[in-house]
Amino acid sequence: MKAAVWHDIKDLRVEEIQEPNVSSGQVKVKVEWAGICGSDLHAYSDGLSLEPHPISGQKPPLTLGHEFSGTIVEVADDVTSRQVGERVAIEPLIYCGECDACKRGYYNQCGKVGFVGLQRDGGFAEYVIIDENMAHVLPENVSFEEGALVEPTAVSFYAVRESKLKAGDSVVIFGAGPIGLLTLLSVRAAGAAKIIVVDLSEERLEKAKELGATTVINGMRDDIVETILGLTNGGVSVAYECAGAQPTMTHAVASVKQGGQVMAIAVFAKPIAVDMGQLLFKAADITSTLAYRHVFPEVIDMISTGRLDVKPVITKKIELEDIVEEGFNQLINDKKQAKILVKPSNN
């Protein structure tokens, strides 16, 4: 079968590999659509750990892709919760199930946490093997394209649910990439009244307006904080940091009101500085979330009932053969793109 295999930094190859087989507790999924994530871009540009993962036992080279949907085509003999023919979205977290965090249900904070597609062969392939508990059934009215967006939507949905946001509050979202746009959809669904979005790309800001932002601000402006404070009578209730950069975190801290909150969702490539004095005098707080836990059913239901319309976040669809040039390289160089979906098979 064909798969996009990571070998080294900037060395992602579409090649023929052996089709995988199911083992105890596993199912085989024919991948229909897979999304390219910022974490995939980090892996492509900056590298992966070359050590075997403590749970999966895998190390590079491995197949990338952790945002995907598909059809179950085979189940192991001991699998009882899933069956052949089911349309599914995949929750790709790998965790031990035995540590204190896992026993408390906080499996996203497992000390050995990993991802299918980053620490184990993933969804940029015609077929993938997953554990049966990773497969969430999609209603018939949820397309495979929407199914591929369940995972990134879960990231934003979980962060919004864990934040202090209440209906009628004002918020600002720094970064209008896929996670920022999905955060926008999630805060709208949660009842935010004013939604301000900041980004460097005019195309992404236009997309944010299309999805319901009440105000958009170009990140090149030098009056970003003053504008936000003026629009919100002293600051927003929650600032969502979806860019992962020093300037946006600095602006986020400066933009919240007294008693407000900064929620960091993005992955930061390097340490950053935070003005604790501002937080202290505002009695504001700063927090973060890692991935998600126990939210996939709710996200799928929100998409199925139309309360989260994720389809506009998709800006391009490509074939697996074009994943490097038309996918990874375009996302790195072309900020007009939001979510690019990959079709691993024409069958």
Q: 188-238: per-residue pLDDT in tens?
A: 999 999 999 999 999 999 999 999 999 999 999 999 999 999 999 999 999
Do 24 and 138 fall into the same domain? yes
- For residues 21 and 115, state if they share a domain: yes
Shared-domain flag, residues 183 and 128: no
Q: What is the pLDDT of residue 345?
A: 80
Residue 230 forms part of a structural domain:
yes
For residue 302, being part of any structural domain is answered with no
Residue 30 pLDDT > 70: yes
125 and 11 part of one domain: yes
Q: Do residues 30 and 114 share a domain?
A: yes
Structure tokens at 238: 């929650």
pLDDT of residue 347: 62
| Contact in structure between 173 and 248 (CB atoms under 8 Å) | no
Quick one: 262 and 338 in the same domain? no
Q: Examine the domain organization and report whether 108 and 127 are in the same domain.
A: yes
pLDDT tens for 251-283 read: 999 999 999 999 999 989 899 999 999 999 999
Say if 21 falls within a structural domain: yes
For the segment 12-38, the average pLDDT, to the nearest whole number, is 97
**Domain annotation covers residue 227:** yes
Instruction: Please choose, from the candidates 13, 1, 135, the residue with its C-alpha nearest in 3D space to the C-alpha of residue 64.
Output: 13
Rounded average pLDDT over 317-325: 97
Tell me what pLDDT residue 205 has.
Answer: 97
Instruction: Using pLDDT thresholds of 50, 70 and 90, give the confidence band for residue 336.
Output: confident
Q: Is residue 305 part of a domain?
A: no
Report the percentage of the chain scoring pLDDT > 90.
96
> For residue 18, what is the domain's CATH number?
3.90.180.10
203 and 132 fall within a common domain: no
C-alpha R_g of the chain: 20
* pLDDT for 335: 81
Do 105 and 194 fall into the same domain? no
Q: Which residues pair with 225 in a beta bridge?
A: none
Q: Does 100 map to a domain?
A: yes
Number of separate domains in the chain: 2
pLDDT per residue as tens digits for the range 290-319: 999 999 999 999 999 999 999 999 999 999
Which residues have C-beta within 8 Å of that of residue 185, sequence separation ≥ 6?
A: 153, 156, 211, 212, 308, 309, 310, 313
> 164: exposed, middle or buried (C-beta count within 10 Å: 0-12, 13-18, 19+)?
middle
Please indicate, yes or no, whether residues 123 and 162 belong to a single structural domain of this protein: no
pLDDT (tens digit, 9 = 90+) per residue, 84-142? 999 999 999 999 999 999 999 999 999 999 999 999 999 999 999 999 999 999 999 99
The DSSP element (H or E) to which 87 belongs, if any, is strand 87-90
| 86, part of any domain | yes
Distances (CA, A) of 125 to 17, 35, 40, 129, 326: 9, 12, 14, 10, 17
**Average pLDDT value over all residues in the chain:** 96
Q: What is the pLDDT of residue 69?
A: 98
Beta strands in 182-306 (DSSP E): 194-199, 215-218, 236-241, 256-264, 285-288
Q: 215 and 326 share a domain?
A: no
| 196: CATH | 3.40.50.720
Judgement on whether residues 99 and 167 belong to the same structural domain of the protein: no
Give me the pLDDT at residue 54, please: 97
Q: What angle do helix axes 178-190 and 150-162 make, rounded to 10 degrees?
A: 50
On the question of pLDDT at 346 being above 80, the answer is: no
Does the residue 293 lie in any domain? no
The DSSP element (H or E) to which 137 belongs, if any, is: strand 135-137
What is the residue range of 136's domain?
2-149+310-343
Q: Dihedral angle at the C-alpha atoms of 101, 107, 112, 114, nearest 10 degrees? A: -160
Residue 81 has pLDDT above 70, yes or no: yes
